[in-house]
Amino acid sequence: MSDIPSFFAEGTLVAVMTTQPLDRALDYKAPEGGCHIGAFVEVPLGPRKVPGVVWGPGVGGFDLSKARAINRVLDVAPMREEMQMFLQRAGDYTLTPMSAMLRLATRAPGLGDPPSMRKVYRMGSGTPDRETDARRKVLEVLSQFGGLSFTLKELSDEAGVTSSVVKGLVKQGVVAEEDTPRDMPFARLDPERPSKELTDDQAQAVAHLKAAIQSGDYGTTLLRGVTGSGKTEVYLEAVADTLRQGRQALVLLPEIALTAEFLTRIEARFGARPAEWHSGVTMTERRRTWKMVGQGGAQVVVGARSALFLPFQNLGLIVVDEEHDTSYKQEDGVLYNARDMAVLRASIVGAQVVLASATPSLESWSNAEAGKYTRLDLTSRFGPAVLPELRTIDMRAETLPSSRWISPSLQAAVTDRISKGEQSLLFLNRRGYAPVTICRACGHQIGCDTCDARMVEHRFLKRLMCHQCGETKPMPEVCPSCEAEDKLAAVGPGVERLAEEAVALFPEARIATLSSDLFGSARALKEQIVEIAEGAADIIIGTQLVAKGHNFPLLTLVGVIDADLGLQGSDLRAAERTFQLMRQVAGRAGRAEKKGTAMLQTFQPEHPVIRAILSGDEEGFWRAEAEERRQAEVPPYGRMAGVILSSTDMQQVFDLGNELARRDGPLRQVGAQVFGPAPAPIARIRGRHRVRLLVKAPKGVALQAALKHWIGQVRVTGQARLSVDIDPQSFL
């Protein structure tokens, strides 16, 4: 880009990339006063005004008198050259149009609004003359979000009250009303505040990361440490050193429920809260974060995977916490893996990446083995905590009724913990009450009306839910097929059914169920997690949500109800994911002074994955898994891409798939194979029929170019859609 002019005078033809679904940039005349490359602008497109970015000089080749002018340049920091390069390279890798990539980079409301003042509301110093439920909700929201400010509507909506309640509290000084610029810099973080005392392992890891950060070069480090070993303290010291260098840091978390505890740790370490970027943040704070990141007014951002596309001014460090987590893969719209895109972005800007996990992905493990990544290991738990004892419960030897899921052995262990005032976690990675509802008269299984998926009973909500499209309907009283009454039966367990059983087995116990379906807001979920950590429950029933980094000091027993669940099916990552999930869940036990125990209920105690979990020989597991993948030439020792075709017309989608399969010449030229077309495992979602093709290629092949040539041979028309998933993580 160095030969491209950075400034375009008024009337000069410039190329503007818009967020509209077009396959190219459009030519416009630079506005009065000119514009710089990277400027965010508003341009006319037909009768509409749409946002865009000045991408470079215009191409021309048409009557220039017909060229329209840019309406205006927006008052935000221009897109940096490195960001343009990142979007371009990410789009090339994922085969995503630039317009869609640009939408990812501009997902903040009101970017075109002129600077202005606004009234915001935060906690005041007064006390209310009387307490009501509505007033209490307002104060709870303000205390929950610390120093954040809200508009009147945001505060009212978040608290679920009318604006008059807030206004009444303002009159009494309980809530402060202030005029402030719409977007203010975030409070400065102080890296010189004292940190926690580090173990020898932690200190060595910190020294390495500091040296890497001070070099100013790109590098990726796999920070592997057993659960509870203090990985967070290590990478927070890396954040501190990044701030000392005057650069920005980004910490990606896999789960929104983790942010509350993590933000508290950031504030304790640096004296102020960082910027946040995730679905639970208000639109006002979202726009503020986007603008301040671009202006350097936000030093640290804590966020979900999309935070990777914020316009950082001087990014020096990206931390991907729980880097193995599947939620880093975006499965709709732009299909990308945030872990891999973090490495790409850091390589462009000369930043460091820390991939932190107790159970790394095989991709990261193999990159460390190959020397592409540096590997740092933390081998012992922080402070007095010790690793939990792992054991199996052989379900073949347990006497258990068919309607029960908690074995007598596990029941006895839970009872013992309750008597000691300790907590137990019963883990089942299955939401809802039961995965299948069947009619005992005719055998009909209740399915979704628009998907080829069974509907899951959610008894707490008294509804059936499709976990593919989100469709819900009331639980029927008669069979939809044969209309028999009182013949519908729940088959298999979900966490709600497990909770029902726990109530019957432990009638005196306080039981809390943690599942994403059961909470109306992220705030409610965070509050429940905090309460549990403070001892508000004796038994926790949870899905994989509880495996993600939560610290429950009183938890000393983890019981995995169905350790075999993830081993079923043909997913090439089934063993890896089961191993990761079981180790992560087991690691929740014994985080404080008391030793923990993890008990895995299994019908296959001799299975290699179960044996690897028990033995603790993680390196042995990775080596064996790597060798199997290497022999099969599948990722990370080969390349894969999924092509998903969908349409409301089944014949159209199969015809398109067969045509693609016949025209596989461009792929065969690079040594790639095409499998399919075949119906997707879930062959219909939201009324659209789905067909998959799988492309497999040797490692090192220029697969994207071949794929582009291959799919460019067919026309996708009418209702049909085609999407390409590079490095697919799921095969549904």
Instruction: Say if CB 436 and CB 493 are below 8 A apart.
Output: no
Q: What is the pLDDT of residues 460-501, one digit of tens each?
A: 677 887 766 677 888 888 888 888 888 887 777 778 888 889
Answer yes or no: is pLDDT of 719 > 80: yes
Q: CA–CA distance from 209 to each of 205, 232, 347, 368 (Å)?
A: 6, 13, 16, 15
| pTM for the predicted model, two decimal places | 0.82
Beta bridge partners of 692: 644, 678
Tell me how long the chain is: 732
Establish how many alpha carbons lie within 13 A of residue 58's alpha carbon, considering only the half-sphere containing its beta carbon: 21
pLDDT in tens, 114-150: 776 778 888 888 888 888 999 999 998 888 776 677 8
Identify the three-state secondary structure at position 487: coil
Quote the pLDDT of residue 3.
60
Percent of the chain with pLDDT over 70: 93
Domains, the chain, ranges and CATH? 7-104 (3.40.1440.60), 117-181 (1.10.10.10), 200-285+298-378 (3.40.50.300), 389-430+493-625 (3.40.50.300), 638-726 (3.30.70.600)
In this predicted model, what pLDDT tens digit does every residue of 169-219 receive, in sequence order? 999 999 999 888 777 889 899 999 998 889 898 999 999 999 999 999 999
The rounded mean pLDDT for the chain is 87
**In sequence order, which ranges of 319-438 are alpha helices (DSSP H)?**
338-349, 362-369, 408-419
CA atoms of 544 and 633, how far apart (whole Å): 30
β-strands 35-36, 7-8: how paired?
antiparallel
Between strands 248-252 and 315-321, the pairing is parallel
d(CA 603, CA 9): 73
Which pLDDT belongs to residue 336? 96
Residues 233, 354: contact at Cβ < 8 Å? Answer: no
Compute CA distances 52 → 38, 605, 684, whole Å: 9, 58, 36
Reported confidence tier of residue 257, pLDDT bands at 50, 70, 90: low
**Which single residue is written with the structure tokens 């120093």?**
147
Long-range contacts of 471-474 (CB under 8 A, 24+ apart): 473/449
pLDDT in tens, 45-100: 999 999 999 999 998 888 878 899 999 999 899 999 999 999 999 999 999 999 99
- Count other C-beta atoms under 10 Å from residue 294's C-beta: 22
Asked if residue 249 has pLDDT above 70, the reply is: yes
Question: Sign (positive/negative) of CA torsion 408, 409, 410, 413?
Answer: positive
What does the alpha-carbon distance between residue 469 and residue 684 come to, in Å, rounded to a whole number? 10
**Structure tokens belonging to residue 447:** 């399915």
pLDDT band at 1 (very low <50, low <70, confident <90, very high): very low
Distance of CA 329 to the CA centre of its chain: 7
DSSP-assigned states of every residue in 134-177: HHHHHHHHHHHTTT--B-HHHHHHHHT--HHHHHHHHHTTSEEE
Listed residue (625, 701, 631, 638) closest to 667, CA to CA: 701
pLDDT digits (tens, 9 = 90+) for 357-408: 988 999 999 999 999 999 999 987 655 455 678 889 999 999 888 788 899 9
List phi, psi (to 5°) of 332. Answer: -140, 165
Spatial distance between the Cα atoms of 36 and 38, rounded to a whole number of angstroms: 6
- Of 411, 409, 420, nearest to 505 by C-alpha is 411
Q: Of all helices (H) and strands (E), which one includes residue 692?
A: strand 688-698
Ramachandran angles phi, psi of 524, nearest 5°: -65, -40
